A and B are shown apart, each in its own frame.
Chain A
Amino acid sequence: MGANSRTEGSNLRLRGSISGCAVGLPIFVCFGGAALAFADPTQPSSPTNIFAPASSPAKSIFGLSLFVLAVTGAIFLVVFALLLYSVVSFRKKRNDDGREPPQVYGSNQVELAWTVIPVLIVVALFMATARVIALVQKTSPPGNAIAVTAIGHQFWWEYRYPDLGVVTANELHLPVSDPAYPTPTFITLLSADTDHSFWVPRLGGKTDLIPNHPNTMWIDPQATGVYFGQCAQYCGTQHAKMLLRVYVQTKDEFNQWILQQRQPAFANDAVSQGQRTFETTACINCHTVSGTVANGRFGPDLTHLMSRDTIAAGAAPNTPQNLRLWIRNPDAIKPGSLMPAMQLSDQQLDALTAYLETLR
């Protein structure tokens, strides 16, 4: 490969540099900006930041991703630099003599070098990856694990705690796990209709909920708080509003929550009219209120509806106005959801809302 004399002025080089940088700069800026956004893992600017792990699977993935980013980043920098150099240095000079440059057809040694080095890099990446796959996917539940069954529906989440006798919807409550004495939660993932995916980035990678194909995943959240996510496999019209909320509580809070969730609904004469409306219209075909005749399973269990912060799988805050609006016209909150508008009169709506407000 002949060496070109570098007598040409800076003008051409500058233009070459500009074109090279036009491509490289945004890439750097964006990843740099992203890095700044991720700077403080304890106070994430985003509650769904994959670089702010709060659970062992998420932490293993985080560690692996740093390694992978470092390796791919290094490769990018080296090759980018070489490309930039060739774009700048081998540009046709203004005072070019019009002869063709030396015609080089190839070089076996060079080809060997840039085959062997990538193969070695691939081997290293593969071994690191295989290790984390085994770590996350070959773990069996320890004796003190909490077992949850999550069933995906269009467009809400059903949660059952088979050993604790609790059935709820949309807001998952778990005990915090002490890293020294872990109490992980093992979730069995099923689906009642089409494909869904459970993704709470700070707690772990996503796993799909596929009908007739049970999956399992585990998490051990190590800090209390609320963790957010949403369905990550397109499941129909309202896929976007199948939101996830995971409430990680202290052991005591969690036990208290379990006890409360186990209670059936208490009859309350003040809202008997609303209860009658509920039980004589189609509501009971889809919803369960334990302790009453309502035992439908198509829609969420409503026994403790008022213990939740949101309705419609996170689509709206759980306020009386929203609740009333949801029953009157679900499309106003979540167009395309499978809850039908119940065609109730204002009076019926008021009574019904009052009844539901007692389901704590």
Chain B
Amino acid sequence: MSTDALALPGTELASRPLVSKLHDWVATVDHKKLGILYIIYALVFLLIAGVEAMIIRIQLIRPHNDFISPQVFNRMFTMHGTTMIFFVVMPVLFGFANYLIPLMIGARDMAFPRLNAFSFWMTAFGGLLLYFSLVGANGLYGAGNAPDVGWFAYAPLTSQTFSIGHSTDFWILALLVSGFGSIGTAINIVATILCMRCPGMTLAKMPLFAWLNLIMAGLVILAVSPLTAAQIMLLIDRYLGGHFFDTQAGGSAVIWMHFFWIFGHPEVYVLVLPAFAFVSEVIPVFSRKPIFGYSVMVAATVAIGFISMSVWAHHMFTVGMGANVNTFFVISTMAIAVPTGIKIFNWLATMWGGKIEFKTPMLFCTAFLFQFLAAGLTGVMLSVAPFTWQLGNSYFVVAHFHYVIVGGILFALFGAFYYWFPKMSGKMYSETLGKLHFWVFIVGFHLTFDFMHIPGLLGMPRRIYTYEPGRGWDTWNFIVTIGVFFQAVGILVFLGNLIWSYLRGKAAGSDPWDAWTLEWSTNSPPPAYNFASRPVVKSRRPLWDLKHPADPDWNYE
């Protein structure tokens, strides 16, 4: 993270005042600094949304608990979901994309550095606006006016009739603002990848990380826009007397669901594709083999991108769309399982025959494979519409999507943190603390999310602030809550490792993992301009070619 110019021998650089350094960060347009800003922002909100989850689980540890009131509980689950998706996972993924894409494609920065900064600050402001709801607009008088309509804010619950006051407006505006930030970043990613690659790096030669983020950005452009449209419509309903979702005037509550899920389903692919990107970079390096089936992986990703735009109504199987429509969405949802499964097989084949070293990044990415497999399979179960008629809106669904997001995406993210931390900070993290983090967290993850499936199978719906004893849910809820504390400890170990290693870690050097993509050819951390001279590449693994001049990749690709 150094912006200091190289010091000439015999001279001393005067240490800059703190104000100057802070101004650097606030006014930066450097993709690396913005990437780190996104990541730190996301970590702060991870802690906040994690506390919200703990509050929810403490309330549900036993039936008829009174740790918090129903009003507070409903705000908690709304804020937890909204925060985690829009202000934790999306920003951290944009952060990694911002940091790594120019480095991996041999570019000096993103295509539009100022748009990059603007997008970050829009996203940041959106998060602050959402949390301002706790105190703003009579919040302090009413003990918090945070939104309580669920993260998908179904109509007509969000109309002025049923959502009095401004809590829903905070939800709308915060997401509208950060949505513009997301679209800005997505445009930047597409333009960067299509227009700024170094010579020789055709699309077929760029790292899978770049491909996956390219498709992700395309999905953001096509999917966040419908959410923006729907939110404008909701504002028109709430403030200009419109009737988009006003069932009393003949409007439709179901059309909100359609518009929301046309956003909401591709959104989960926006979240998972970058996780695939991390795994596709880490597994080959730690297995000491190239990724198996690069072209098929690209094709599968493109297929996932397309199909993901056609499955949205599997979130609406219980809404009464009719048998034919239900049947269509069953087949489209099952279809997307095929390219997703292919990816799992390709990662497995990459490991097969390799020489695997289970350093912390690889531990997390291996756990990702097992857990994403399970999560994908519960998704296949849910694609069977009649099964969803029983299990939709139950804790089985909550377990499924947390399995994907925590067991899949968050684990891949931890892998990415450990893998690229040496590059971003110049220091090695503590392997001992990393492994401790892994084991503590994975125990907590499985305690919580494996056993969470069971109350769903036993009839427990979601979004309930308490439940009846005698339904067989008590023991399972107890175990689920215990797991959360393990995860909390794991996260604290993780953050401690990051901070301690940044301050006291050993120097990492430019290529601690003996990896093969361009970012490892720069210093750690890279200088502001990234590359002293523009790289020229001939294969997908330019550093392999440099390290093995007698046996370069381009002979085999």
Task: Report if A and B touch in the complex (beta carbons < 8 A).
Answer: yes
Cα A164 to Cα B144 with chains together (Å)? 48
Q: List chain B residues, Cβ under 8 A from A136.
A: 386, 389
Say whether A193 faces chain B, with CB atoms less than 8 Å apart: yes
Say whether A182 faces chain B, with CB atoms less than 8 Å apart: no
Say whether A223 faces chain B, with CB atoms less than 8 Å apart: no
Cα A30 to Cα B473 with chains together (Å)? 14
- CB contact list, B330-357 vs A, under 8 A: 330-331, 334-335, 337-338, 341-342, 344-346, 348-349, 351-357
B320 and A87: CB pair below 8 A?
Answer: no
Among B292, B319, B385, B548, point to the contact of A104 (Cβ < 8 A): B292
Among A2, A34, A93, point to the contact of B457 (Cβ < 8 A): A34
A51 and B457: CB pair below 8 A?
Answer: yes
Contact pattern, B 378-419, Cβ under 8 Å of A = 1, otherwise 0: 101101111111111110000000000000000000000000
Take A64-B386, A114-B342, A236-B157 as given contacts and tell me if A213 and B253 are in contact as well, using a CB distance cutoff of 8 Å. Answer: yes
Cα A260 to Cα B228 with chains together (Å)? 54
Segment from B3-11, B95-103, B365-373 that makes contact with A: B365-373
A232 and B393: CB pair below 8 A?
Answer: yes
- CB contact list, B108-138 vs A, under 8 A: none
Cα A248 to Cα B45 with chains together (Å)? 49
- CB contact list, A153-205 vs B, under 8 A: 154, 189, 193-195, 197, 199, 201, 204-205
Q: List chain A residues, Cβ under 8 A from B330.
A: 126, 129-130, 133
Closest A-chain residue to B467, C-beta based?
Answer: A240
Q: List chain B residues, Cβ under 8 A from A19.
A: 358, 363, 366
B373 and A79: CB pair below 8 A?
Answer: yes
Most buried by B among A45, A126, A138: A126
B453 and A61: CB pair below 8 A?
Answer: no
B157 and A234: CB pair below 8 A?
Answer: yes
B384 and A125: CB pair below 8 A?
Answer: yes
Say whether B310 faces chain A, with CB atoms less than 8 Å apart: no
Q: List chain B residues, Cβ under 8 A from A90.
A: 287, 351-356
B389 and A49: CB pair below 8 A?
Answer: no
Cα A4 to Cα B354 with chains together (Å)? 9
* Closest-CB distance, A236 to chain B (whole angstroms): 6
Take A115-B338, A207-B320, A238-B70 as given contacts and tell me if A72 and B381 are in contact as well, using a CB distance cutoff of 8 Å. Answer: yes
Say whether A293 faces chain B, with CB atoms less than 8 Å apart: no
B320 and A193: CB pair below 8 A?
Answer: no
Cα A58 to Cα B235 with chains together (Å)? 41
Which secondary structure characterizes the binding site on chain B? helix
Among A30, A44, A68, A92, point to the contact of B356 (Cβ < 8 A): A92
Take A23-B370, A107-B293, A205-B318 as given contacts and tell me if A138 and B323 are in contact as well, using a CB distance cutoff of 8 Å. Answer: yes
Say whether A336 faces chain B, with CB atoms less than 8 Å apart: yes
- CB contact list, B468-499 vs A, under 8 A: 468, 470-473
Q: List chain A residues, Cβ under 8 A from B320.
A: 189, 207-208, 210, 213, 215-216
Say whether B254 faces chain A, with CB atoms less than 8 Å apart: yes
Among B251, B337, B390, B453, point to the contact of A206 (Cβ < 8 A): B390
B318 and A208: CB pair below 8 A?
Answer: yes
Say whether B465 faces chain A, with CB atoms less than 8 Å apart: yes
Q: List chain B residues, Cβ under 8 A from A27.
A: 374, 446, 450
Closest B-chain residue to A230, C-beta based?
Answer: B461
A61 and B389: CB pair below 8 A?
Answer: yes
Q: List chain A residues, Cβ under 8 A from B460.
A: 48
- CB contact list, B154-206 vs A, under 8 A: 154, 156-157, 161-162
B453 and A30: CB pair below 8 A?
Answer: yes
B442 and A22: CB pair below 8 A?
Answer: yes
A49 and B472: CB pair below 8 A?
Answer: yes
A103 and B290: CB pair below 8 A?
Answer: yes
Segment from A94-102, A251-259, A263-271, A275-283 that makes contact with B: A94-102
* Closest-CB distance, A73 to chain B (whole angstroms): 8
Say whether A60 faces chain B, with CB atoms less than 8 Å apart: yes
Take A37-B454, A111-B342 as given contacts and tell me if A122 and B356 are in contact as well, using a CB distance cutoff of 8 Å. Answer: no
Cα A61 to Cα B394 with chains together (Å)? 16
Cα A92 to Cα B355 with chains together (Å)? 4
Q: List chain B residues, Cβ under 8 A from A154.
A: 162
Q: List chain B residues, Cβ under 8 A from A201.
A: 390, 458-459
Closest B-chain residue to A234, C-beta based?
Answer: B463
Q: List chain A residues, Cβ under 8 A from B363.
A: 19
Cα A336 to Cα B548 with chains together (Å)? 70
Say whether B141 faces chain A, with CB atoms less than 8 Å apart: no
Q: List chain A residues, Cβ under 8 A from B334.
A: 122, 125-126
B341 and A118: CB pair below 8 A?
Answer: yes
Q: List chain A residues, Cβ under 8 A from B154.
A: 194-195, 233-234
Say whether A146 faces chain B, with CB atoms less than 8 Å apart: no
Say whether A312 faces chain B, with CB atoms less than 8 Å apart: no
* Closest-CB distance, A274 to chain B (whole angstroms): 31
B342 and A118: CB pair below 8 A?
Answer: yes
Cα A106 to Cα B318 with chains together (Å)? 42
Say whether B252 faces chain A, with CB atoms less than 8 Å apart: yes
* Closest-CB distance, A97 to chain B (whole angstroms): 10
A110 and B374: CB pair below 8 A?
Answer: no
Q: Give 26 CB contacts A-B under 8 Å.
A: A19-B358, A23-B442, A26-B446, A27-B450, A45-B472, A48-B472, A49-B457, A58-B390, A61-B389, A79-B345, A91-B357, A103-B289, A103-B556, A105-B556, A106-B296, A114-B342, A118-B341, A122-B338, A129-B385, A130-B330, A201-B390, A205-B386, A228-B468, A234-B154, A240-B70, A335-B70
* In the complex, the 8 A-B pairs of residues with the closest C-beta atoms, listed nearest first: A205-B389, A48-B459, A46-B472, A240-B464, A215-B320, A26-B446, A212-B247, A1-B353
Known: A80-B373, A110-B293, A234-B157. 9 other contacts (CB 8 A): A48-B460, A50-B459, A86-B348, A199-B393, A206-B318, A206-B390, A208-B320, A210-B319, A237-B74
Chain B interface (Cβ < 8 Å from any Cβ of A): 69-71, 74, 148-150, 154, 156-157, 161-162, 247-248, 250-254, 287-290, 292-296, 318-320, 322-323, 326-327, 330-331, 334-335, 337-338, 341-342, 344-346, 348-349, 351-358, 363, 366-367, 369-371, 373-374, 377-378, 380-381, 383-394, 439, 442-443, 446-447, 450-451, 453-454, 457-468, 470-473, 548, 553, 556-557
Chain A interface (Cβ < 8 Å from any Cβ of B): 1-4, 19-20, 22-24, 26-27, 29-31, 33-34, 37-38, 44-51, 58, 60-61, 64-65, 68-69, 72, 75-76, 79-80, 82-83, 86-87, 90-93, 96, 100-107, 110-111, 114-115, 118-119, 122, 125-126, 128-130, 132-134, 136-138, 154, 189, 193-195, 197, 199, 201, 204-208, 210-213, 215-216, 228-241, 243, 314, 335-336
